[in-house]
Amino acid sequence: MTKKRLRNIVNKDELKRRMEESTEPRTTLSFYQYHHIEDPKAFRDQLFLDWSELGVFGRIYVADEGINGQISLPSRNLKAFKEAMYSVPFLNGIRLNIAVDDDGKSFYKLTIKVRTKIVADGLDDESFDVTKRGKHLDAQSVNQLLDEDETIIVDMRNHYESEVGHFEGAICPDVETFREALPLVEDMLEQEKDKNIIMYCTGGIRCEKASAYYLHKGFKNVYMIDGGIIEYTRQCREQGLPIKYKGKNFVFDERLGERITEEVISRCHQCGEACDTHVNCINDACHILFIQCESCAEQYHQCCSEKCSDFIQLPKEEQLKLRPTMQFNGSKFGKGRYKAFRTSGDLMLG
């Protein structure tokens, strides 16, 4: 009997090439569900077999506390995928957040990993009741509550996510991880425990845990946007409601962002011009995430600095020889931390 493959074996560059050249319509979506899974490894392997047959690409995390996934699949297989997913009892009927700005090029392979947690939060789940979560708000309720003067809205995402898009008047923590955001937001709102506090993230999963944690910490009126930015936007567009989120929604796939509104609220990290396009430095020895406009992409050969631009133009043999002896922005700064322009607007090359 032939053993079925449980992992990808094709080179990633080849997979990316196939994705870029494909004209097959694909749908990008995300989902999550907290549920106790007795054997995450066996569950993971079965998912890989079932979903591979449906042409699913994406990144899924499985843990004994549940599942968290962002995927794309051929649009023609969407019905079959829903049937396969809903055949799993604890996944039956869960919401699938369909991307609001999708070119079908979000993922190029299927990766399913077993993790300790489906979101790295650093919390001791045994110390509080994770089932006592904040109240979910639909889009209309979000807008109504935001019209009240005493309402506080908090972005539970990382700084490079909120930099390109966020709700009007939102508190946006200057953090690189969700783990960092939890205690920081708690300290920031220590004197506001009786006010209405709305939390939001991309699809809702981070706020599920955060809302339970803050209720445990004594906050009285904790709310969360049901389905996150993605579902909020869908409901607003469907119902003709004003969208109080401005800019782009950062996403963790090949797109790196989906357009919510036309406002551009961030700037190119190299020249300071209005721009909200996230890219990774094309120099594989650097690969830092930053914001770059088309003009700077051309000037710096899709690199974050002259140093990286010069490096990638060397012969491959010389690059390999020099790489261990050189330090680039990717090894000096965190995601989105690199800024190549001074406040004055003068260029500051790395």
Confidence (pLDDT) at 350 = 45
Q: Name the 3-class secondary structure at 205.
A: helix
- Alpha-carbon distances of 204 from 12, 29, 30, 123, 222, rounded to whole Å: 30, 13, 10, 17, 14
Confidence (pLDDT) at 284 = 94
> For 125-247, which CATH superfamily applies?
Rhodanese-like domain (3.40.250.10)
Confidence (pLDDT) at 6 = 73
Confidence (pLDDT) at 2 = 40
Confidence (pLDDT) at 15 = 85
The overall longest dimension of the chain from CA atoms, in Å, is: 68
Among this protein's residues, is 201 annotated catalytic? yes
Burial of 292 from C-beta contacts in 10 A (0-12 / 13-18 / 19+): buried
Q: Which candidate, 162, 167, 218, 227, places its Cα nearest to that of 195?
A: 218
- Give dist(CA 273, CA 267) in Å, integer: 5
User: Which CATH number describes the domain made up of 12-114?
Assistant: 3.30.70.100
- Residue 126 structure tokens: 């045994």
What's at 176, amino acid-wise?
A: E
Among 172, 201, 286, 293, the one annotated catalytic: 201
The Cα angle at residue 227 between residues 223 and 232, in degrees rounded to 5? 90
For the chain, residues classed under CATH 3.40.250.10 are: 125-247
- Helices and strands in the chain: count of H runs, count of E runs: 12, 14
pLDDT, tens only, 195-220: 999 999 999 999 999 999 999 999 99
For the chain, residues classed under CATH 3.30.70.100 are: 12-114
Confidence (pLDDT) at 248 = 98
Q: Which residues of the chain have pLDDT under 50?
A: 1-3, 342-350
